[in-house]
Copies of this chain bind each other. A is one copy, B any other.
Amino acid sequence: MDEEKRTVRAVERALDVLLCFTGKSEWGLSEIAGKVGLHKSTVHRLLATLENRGFVIRDEGTEKYRLGFRILELSSNQSRPDDPSIVLLPEMERLRNELGETVSLYVRDRTERVRIQAVQSEQPIRRVAPVGARLPLSVGASSKVLLAFADPAVRAEAMADPAWPQALDKAAYTRQLEDIVARGYATSFEEREPGAAAVAAPIVNRSGKQVAALAVSGPSNRMAPEVMHRQAPAIVEAAKRMGALLG
């Protein structure tokens, strides 16, 4: 375990403090210290530094810490003209209108996946998909697509990750991925989320590299397996068109 020594401890700790704010938006100092396992005084100094640069602010009133506007600033300037999450939006809306279900766009980030864009269904009962969500790369139709069409090295890295569910039979899983490559899309039925089902297809850019997964998801009672297979061609086609838009 002589791993990466070329990293700055104080910065790592500060980023860990920042990461506390995913999921819970208001933290007290001692609370954070407990969570990240550091001394109060250390966390105090880190928070002062983060506050200094506008990455966190203190709620006047509760006196607790929350994220500052620097985060918003960074995330909004992140999008470039060729940002997939912008370029692909019209096609995603088209697909949502055609199928009436929520459409999501996922990219792989190391051994997880992140929903970088979503267009919500307008039905009264619908799948709600918040942008920015970080999900496991093992279960769910999108996960399987992201792995099936990835380099073998990526696949191996994901399956070797400590977060990989040991319960999954790797041989059977790999076979499933082969099927998905052959078929061109993946489905999942109450696999990650009870009551939800999804169909996903790969988005491959003009250079032939997979850059994202396109998923349509909804309540499982509207998306029985045969329904999903009927929807699949439209999704695969949409994904193809999207890929053609990307460098």
| Chain A residues packing against B (C-beta within 8 Å) | 4, 6-8, 10-12, 14-16, 18-19, 21-23, 25-26, 44-46, 48-50, 52-55, 57, 66-78, 80, 107, 109-110, 114, 116, 130-134
Contact = CB atoms under 8 A, between A and B. Distances in A.
B78 A71 contact: yes
A69 B8 contact: no
28 contacts: A6-B48, A7-B49, A8-B10, A8-B14, A8-B45, A11-B46, A11-B50, A12-B49, A14-B15, A15-B49, A15-B50, A15-B53, A16-B53, A18-B74, A19-B53, A22-B73, A54-B109, A68-B109, A69-B109, A69-B132, A72-B78, A72-B116, A72-B131, A73-B114, A73-B133, A75-B75, A76-B130, A76-B132
Nearest to A10: B10
Number of copies of this kind of chain in the complex? 2
A26 to B, nearest CB: 8
A76 B45 contact: no
A69 B12 CA distance: 16
Question: Top 5 closest A-B pairs, CB basis?
Answer: A76-B132, A75-B75, A11-B14, A7-B49, A69-B114
A43 B109 CA distance: 23
Nearest to A85: B72
A127 to B, nearest CB: 17
A68 B80 CA distance: 13
Contacts of A18: 74
A52 B12 CA distance: 8
Contact of A74 (B8, B21, B107, B109): B21
Nearest to A44: B6
B75 A4 contact: no
A77 B15 contact: no
A169 to B, nearest CB: 29
Given A10-B11, A69-B116, A72-B132, 12 more contacts: A7-B52, A11-B49, A12-B49, A18-B74, A26-B80, A54-B110, A69-B107, A71-B71, A71-B74, A72-B78, A72-B114, A76-B132
